[in-house]
Structure 1
Amino acid sequence: MLDAALIQQCADPSLKPAIVEQFIERAGSRDPLAITVRSGNRVVLVPKPKTPEEALALIRDNLGRNTVRVGITQYPAGLGIVEAGQLKPDMVEPCENIRMGTTLFAKVFRVVSKWYGNPTAKEVLPQVLDDAVIAWQTGYFEGVAVFRAEDPAQEKIARPATADSEESENRTDLNKDNAAAATVTDTGASDPNKAGMRIDLSGIGSRP
């Protein structure tokens, strides 16, 4: 069992501690230096690192050729990294690994939850968690590459901005119309031949 204080201190706050515990229990490792290397569906046997330096060297040797998972959360080491030199040593540090891993898993959980219609019923949540763990292990859910997918949380933030943008655009158009009307009125005032109708006569003759 992972130390509860470590989860409280390091895990993504959007995930409940119970979910973090289950996530690490089912998809992670108790060893901060655990390195898992896969080539397709085949696990590649590698020497067990004894120090963070050995772990990073092992990651660098396999990155780009194989899928490499690292540390307590079995974080995907190559995510967002173009060159092995971009690897950060704190990737195998327990707290930082939990922070990185749970932040990414929280996004995966939201992607899966959105597919289910963002359910709130307790009976459905275990299935969502099951699928989220499988998605974490495989990198895919319903054909979507979950690690690179757009975070549903960001979509919710973007929508109001879009609405504000549309409202601002409407206000801009309205201001343009008002400005055009004002221009016509000003022009009419200075040129009698172009003056618009000042008095509404359309109602004359229609009254009994």
Structure 2
Amino acid sequence: MSELPGYTVAPIQEDDVDEVMTLLKRTFFLDEPLNHAVGLCKSETDPCPELEDYCSHSLLEGLSFKAIDSEGKIVGVIVNGVCPLKEEDGNDLLTQARNCQNPKFQRILYILSRREEGARLWERFPEDDKLVEIKVAATIPQWRRRGIMNVLVKETEEATKQRGIRLVRLDTSSAYSAMSAERLGYTCVYTAPYKDIKMDGQPLIVPEPPHEHDCVYIKKLFD
């Protein structure tokens, strides 16, 4: 646990899960550009089991962190998980997209599958078989622009190195997240304009400006 002005950073524990999910439903579920563009959730009480499962799946791997204020309230979170560089057939994103019963989430999964095929990380980093992926990051509005995400990312990198994993992955659908990734020393290995990611001749999802590109960023923590 580390203390910083106004807040403390610590690993997410089992008894944090409900509070973390409530925070995500009030922020990431509504604000993330792809979620917002398809109207995935209209309010924090609008359920999306597929996204809830995606967010909660990695929470207790010991790699996800929270920022808490002086009253013990969670004001920011980062959800991370260990992932293979290439999923096995049957568990890949394209298969998940084809099998998804939620048409809005299905469109997002198709975007993610194109992202995976475009980045082809297993070819770029053949010496690695896994990495840590920053899956979700969110801060409540009152605590934004205070550097919380930068600290949570650094905490993630330290935990990743302690596990002997050298790659951290950060995908960005938001122009602001992409700028943050570059400031934090991440290298863009894939980018595609949303208007060019199509199915049946039509763009799958086109978020509102300035969110115009889908990107994958990677940082090598050691050689």
User: TM-score with structure 1 length normalisation?
Assistant: 0.23
Bigger relative contact order, structure 1 or 2 (CA pairs below 8 A, ≥6 apart):
2
Select the structure that is richer in strand. Answer: 2
Q: Please identify the structure whose Cα radius of gyration is greater.
A: 1
